[in-house]
Chains A and B, each alone.
Chain A
Amino acid sequence: MKFGRKKDLETTIESGENAIANKEVEGLSQGQIVLKRFLRHRAAVISLSAITGILLFVFSSLDMKIGPFHYRGWWKFGVDDLPELRYGDCPNGTVGCPTISLRPKFLGGAGIQLGQHPFGQDDIGRDYFALVMKGTQRSVMVMVVIGLFAATIGTIVGAVAGYFRGTVDNVLMRFTDFIITIPSVVIGSVIGARIGNLGAGVLAVYLGLFAWTGLSRLVRGEFLKLRELEFVDAARVAGASTRRIIFKHILPNAVGVIIVSVTLLLSGAILLETALSYLGFGVVPPDVSLGLLISQYQDAFTTRPWLFWYPGLFIISIALSINFIGDGLRDAFDPRQRRRLTKKDKARAKQISREQAKVEK
């Protein structure tokens, strides 16, 4: 009988847990629920603040010209400046080593400071910090442009194919299929080998034009599912136009899937850009990008490892943060997802279920 009683308790606790979950979302809109769930995902919140910090830091550091405005960055060197190469006090007789120091004075270090060239200098003396900042700006820009184009095209193609079905669907999906058969590195290289000379922006647009296929399949699946639901029928009976049904009724329900896969697409995009630049088919000199920096200085690793560490560090931290944000968003948008209950919650769940049991008696 012991077993049966334990099961009983478990079911009542489960109903108590449900009660907690329900109580938590009482009177909240969908957006508020998602926000609340997202804020509970600790890794995602940390990543979000990390990436905001990184982006602010990177984009404010260098001089920028936006139309008539001229923004002055807080960092003293630009990409084109040629300060004198630092000799002496470098390990193994190398030149231009980094001056950044993270070890405080009381631990025997030089104190926490940036110094003249925090990330060191390259072969001809350019400030490597400025180069890495510039490279990150380029890579992030390419990533965002790819993401924007892929998200727009993918959503439109998927939505149209899923909503109208039939011939439209067949044509669009076969089109998607043959874009998929061309691997992204191949398409990127072919485009990059020529377009690379035209600048990073054009390259990003072209890459974006080929990166939407996975998203469009997902969105199509979502639309196929949602268009059969009752509320869509209700809207149609009420005389809503096709455009209204797609944009007002179905799209808001599919937005979770879209946002999550676009986030993951972004982290793929930054890796694609760096890989292409590494192969020499992406961003080309005199422009700078993170992949290009790594490719240019990989042979220097044994003697001057800092030329290799810092660009890689920025790629990884950006891609990693985006991946975690994507994970947090997926959890937030998934209604089946329930958070793991703490001991305190479990105690409260027991309490609630006991109260319910009393009421039922």
Chain B
Amino acid sequence: MLAYIVRRLGVLGVILFGSSFILYNMAAIAGDPIGELRLSNDPAAKQAIIDLTLRLQLDVPPPLRYFIWLKGVLGIFVGKADFGLTRDNMSVFNEISQAIPITIRLVTTATIVAIVLGIALGITSALRQYTRFDYSMTFFAFLLYSLPIFWVAVLLKQFLAIRFNDFLSHSTVHRNSVLLLSLLSAIFWGSIFSRVRKTFWITFVSAALGTASLLLFMNQLEWYTNPRLGPITVFIFSVGIAFGVTHLSVGLSNRTALYSSLTMAVLALVIYFPIQSLFTAQSTFWQMILLLIVTIAVATGVSFMFSRIDRGPLIRTTILTAFLSASLIIVDKYMRTWQFYLKEDAINYRPVPTIGQVSDLLPQDDYWIRTLDILVHLFLPTIALTLISFAGYTRFSRGTLLEVLNQDYIRTARAKGLTERTVIMRHAFRNTLIPLTTIIVVDFAGIIGGAIITERVFGWYGMGTLFNRAITGQDLNLLMGVFFLTATLSVLANLIADLLYSALDPRIRVGAGK
């Protein structure tokens, strides 16, 4: 195993060397950094040419200059990496380390949402194979595949951001919109939850009525300018989560797990008021992390008290419930920050921005308003990125699950008399996740450098913008810096994916034979 990893790392080194060499020379030939200056008649241009040539060592031919660059990069192993200077005499290393957190902020949420949603819908449509739901999901996925992201982005800006801001000024959902939304939700839920016509109509009608009354109720409360959940709603949702999570993970017949999860829901209600005093303007990110750890610790403790045997699944179920209920409380806090956020001068009741990563004019003293501002700026890019990438996950998880369901061990599991839930969740779903894990790992590495167009459309200053600047400004060192990071991440991710695959699937052994 170790020999395999070492050999692979060696090959990776050679690959990285080769591709960076090719790209360096190609980029050097394609773009002349002093080309524009040469055409200029300005006497200062001559001096600029001399300066640039000296600083970027342009008098050295590109193939040789590559090795100067490489020597700097290899300094990474002795602790002082030198990625060279940009045209503006800045350190490439600093520029990149400033851009990475922004890119991560931009793509993490979108990727997680895309993965969770994509897998959920993919699995559902595989379980409803050849139904109308399946066909419409297929169509939807292909449509999303075919959308250019810059086109979607402009549409989102127009129809989601500007229209939503307009909507907030009168903030009631119109009668026709209520009808339309109820119909859509009725069709969606009806087609998921029904095998026969009767249950279809029952789900259809209840979903329609539920959505309509919820929307009307929210209109009455002026919920859109002053949203909140409140302790009772948090409790009801938590109970729902407890039932749902237990049903999916161990089954409702496992009473201990159910009670343990329900305790979490009760705890959410109990701590709702005390915890509000912890949420002050001076809260920090680390406090939230601490709260998360405490939540998990409490959940583990409670589930230990409940369980005698077979602790693992029960603990997982309880922790998941606790985590989701805790998130509800946080969401509730953000909802109640919303109206104060709207009142800020920098926002002035037009909260959804079409461009930028933060509102510059917003006072930075309140933690909740500051982070809500970040979240609001994430809104549009996240939707755009999610729409583009989630179709892939849907198709992939659907295909994999269908393949798994045809395996002999599924038939065996059914023949043993296991419940359908156990067959799907324990036997089929877990095996579906194996190939999914590997593509997720590779995707995560890919997106660090990948959001070039999104960043451009929404005016973010992350890795994509750096890359853009490097190309348009013929900035070779910057380009190579960005490329080196993304390429290294992507080859490493491929290696990790292979190792994960063999760890997860005992039939696959890496390094066995040649």
Contacts and interface: CB of A to CB of B under 8 A. Distances in A.
Interface of A: 43, 174, 177-179, 181-183, 185-187, 189-191, 193-195, 267, 271, 274-275, 278-281, 291, 294-295, 298, 301-302, 308, 312, 315-316, 319-320, 323-324, 327, 340
B494 to A, nearest CB: 8
Given A183-B449, A323-B145, A174 B14 contact: yes
B27 interface: yes
A191 B14 CA distance: 23
B27 A190 contact: yes
B30 A195 contact: yes
Nearest to B11: A174
A213 to B, nearest CB: 12
Contact of A279 (B16, B139, B154, B468): B468
Contacts of B142: 320, 323-324, 327
Interface string B125-151: 000001000000011001101111111
Interface of B: 11, 14-16, 18-19, 22-23, 26-27, 29-31, 130, 138-139, 142-143, 145-151, 154, 158, 446, 449-450, 452-453, 456, 467-468, 471-472, 474, 479, 483, 486-487, 490-491
Contacts of A193: 30-31, 471-472, 474
Contacts of B467: 186, 189
A280 B472 contact: yes
B148 A294 contact: yes
A194 B490 CA distance: 26
A182 B23 contact: yes
A181 B487 contact: yes
Contacts of A298: 150, 154
18 contacts: A43-B139, A177-B15, A183-B490, A185-B450, A190-B30, A190-B471, A191-B26, A278-B150, A279-B452, A279-B456, A280-B472, A294-B148, A294-B150, A295-B150, A316-B148, A320-B143, A323-B142, A327-B138
Contacts of B468: 279
A266 B486 CA distance: 25
A191 B471 CA distance: 10
A43 B467 CA distance: 40
A279 B30 CA distance: 17
Contacts of B23: 182, 186-187, 190
Nearest to A274: B148
Contact of A194 (B15, B31, B456, B483): B31
Contacts of A183: 446, 449-450, 486, 490
Given A174-B11, A340-B130, A181 B31 contact: no
A195 B26 CA distance: 11
Nearest to B449: A183
Contacts of B453: 185, 275, 278-279
Contacts of B452: 185, 279
Contacts of B158: 301-302
Nearest to B450: A183
Contacts of B483: 182, 186
A278 B454 CA distance: 12
Contact of A319 (B22, B139, B145, B472): B145
Nearest to B27: A190
Most buried by A among B26, B146, B487: B146
A241 B426 CA distance: 51
Contacts of A279: 452-453, 456, 468
A285 to B, nearest CB: 16
A338 to B, nearest CB: 11
Nearest to B141: A323
A251 B471 CA distance: 41
Contacts of A320: 142-143, 145-146
Nearest to B19: A178
A10 to B, nearest CB: 13
B26 A190 contact: yes
Nearest to A339: B130
A312 B152 CA distance: 9
Contacts of B145: 267, 319-320, 323
B471 A281 contact: yes
Most buried by B among A186, A194, A294: A186
A185 B454 CA distance: 13
